[in-house]
Chain A
């Protein structure tokens, strides 16, 4: 069953199209990820799906409710962890959770029980009576995730759940996300611009760029479409070598970048000597060559022609959105 279904969802801000005719669906119980650079339209999509923004065009259903006509039912069915922290720092962890539970109309017995459950899930049960302003960044994020789960939502939206956290904390947050998906059966919709995060967490990934979805598939399929191994090489006459390599049938795909070439192949370690041989015959000097397993980074690269890092540097939205950019990504 599809728990989220969107049809040509579109949002424009002052003539700029942030989300452009996006249609996709998310199955109940899965972890679905939106992968894309800042400004791609990820947060805007979440804000529309959680009724914080009205779409300019198109429509969507979340947990069987229309996001425009049945806003209150949508709100009851979803939990949201925003990109920017949304806690009251002058309240304790428990008070923040209690506030949330009351706003979602849980009775007092359920509130107590649920606060214990969710704080245990994120290992915060010892810290519930501490003021949030004394929490570390990772603890705040964990508390927000716990809060998002308080009212037994059918879908939990996580907008960049590990942004700005250190490697160790990120790993811990990932495990909490997996755990709640498994133990509570909560469907999770997350956005990220970290490839490794999407790779580790998501069952299926949608790659979004400049408001459009480029591809949606399972992480395994996406990586397989690139080839089992990725060979990256740089050499003297790239164009000439590229033309020659395109003739070889064992190469799944070839792509030329600014100063390197990537090749998707099977059994990469056996192909390196062949490539070197071809280059030598053409009197092309290979400067460097490396082999690795494909990542979602390669997938992103092959669909957009840019690495996600490069994309961030020269994204056309930057000059328009400026200060507000992070919120609308």
Chain B
């Protein structure tokens, strides 16, 4: 990579980091929201018996799901924040620069993934502090790989949205109509594939959900409790999804005209 492109990559990353570190409200929100999930929902349902769940501690079950959720939502936001840059004109400054569009994308994604990894790690540490067991050290490392991949995939999806929608209302609609249902059938909050109460159709449908493999992989590697597939199988699938999302996202962004 030529020196100039590397500089551009670095400064795109640096900008994301600076903006993240300075946005106190974002920092607080990313820690507090998962905390609510873990403490209130996790605590409130801690003794509950869910169909398909084998562990008797609900917090242990949802912890990986909440880590995935925090990464998922915040990195999707990072991708979509291209919309802000467009609105405030900064995108023009970037697009007129003598830098390859893919460098721009890559720098932005790297910045977004770094910030969300920080957020995910904070949630993970809180979860461990709440007594969520770690299966093994290699498992923890694999979990970090999953966290990175979830970050990249969601930034890619955010970029796709940002090049297809015009404003934040559109973003809200996609979040409500697509992301929330996918999240609900991702096994983040309750088991699906082993849940006999759900209709067979939904159980089958959950295997078509990209988020399922992310959550299941993270759960398998982190706690090894109630995961459906082997984490490495999940890893292969998530890797493919990640490449596809990033590919489409950067292709659409590279076509952007002002």
Contact = CB atoms under 8 A, between A and B. Distances in A.
- Please say whether chains A and B are actual partners in one complex: yes
Contacts of A91: 15, 18-19
A91 B22 CA distance: 9
A82 to B, nearest CB: 5
B255 to A, nearest CB: 11
A188 interface: no
Contacts of B98: 72-73, 75-76, 103-105
B15 A99 contact: yes
Contact of A82 (B4, B10, B92, B99): B92
B173 interface: no
Interface in A76-111: 76, 78, 80, 82, 84-91, 95, 98-100, 102-105
A47 B257 CA distance: 10
Contacts of A103: 7-8, 11, 94, 97-99
A90 B7 contact: no
Contacts of A54: 257
B258 A80 contact: no
B93 A100 contact: yes
Contacts of A51: 96
B19 A99 contact: no
Nearest to A71: B98
B88 interface: yes
B8 A52 contact: no
Interface residues of A, number: 30
Nearest to B99: A103
Interface string B226-258: 000000000000000000000000000000011
Contacts of B197: none
Residue from B18, B90, B91, B99 having most chain A Cβ neighbours under 10 A: B90
Interface string B7-38: 11011001100110011000000000000000
Contacts of A99: 11, 14-15
B22 A85 contact: no
A53 interface: yes
A47 B91 CA distance: 13
Given A80-B96, A86-B92, A102 B10 contact: yes
A85 B88 contact: yes
A147 B92 CA distance: 13
Interface residues of B, number: 26
Nearest to B91: A86
B89 interface: yes
A102 B7 contact: yes
Contact of B257 (A53, A82, A100, A104): A53
Interface string A54-74: 100000000000000000110
B149 to A, nearest CB: 28
A84 B91 CA distance: 11
Nearest to A95: B18
A191 interface: no
A90 B22 contact: yes
Interface string A256-271: 0000000000000000
Residue from A76, A86, A95 having most chain B Cβ neighbours under 10 A: A86
A89 B88 contact: yes
Contacts of A75: 96-98
Contacts of B4: 104-105
B95 interface: yes
B199 interface: no
Nearest to A72: B98
A50 interface: yes
A17 to B, nearest CB: 17
B106 to A, nearest CB: 14
Contacts of B95: 52
Nearest to B97: A103
4 nearest A-B pairs in the assembled complex, by CB-CB distance: A105-B4, A75-B98, A86-B89, A102-B11
Interface of A: 47, 50-54, 72-73, 75-76, 78, 80, 82, 84-91, 95, 98-100, 102-105, 147
6 contacts: A52-B96, A78-B96, A88-B90, A100-B93, A103-B7, A105-B7
Given A82-B93, A90-B18, 20 more contacts: A51-B96, A52-B92, A52-B257, A53-B258, A75-B96, A75-B98, A84-B89, A86-B88, A87-B90, A88-B88, A90-B19, A99-B11, A100-B97, A102-B10, A103-B7, A103-B94, A103-B98, A103-B99, A104-B4, A104-B97
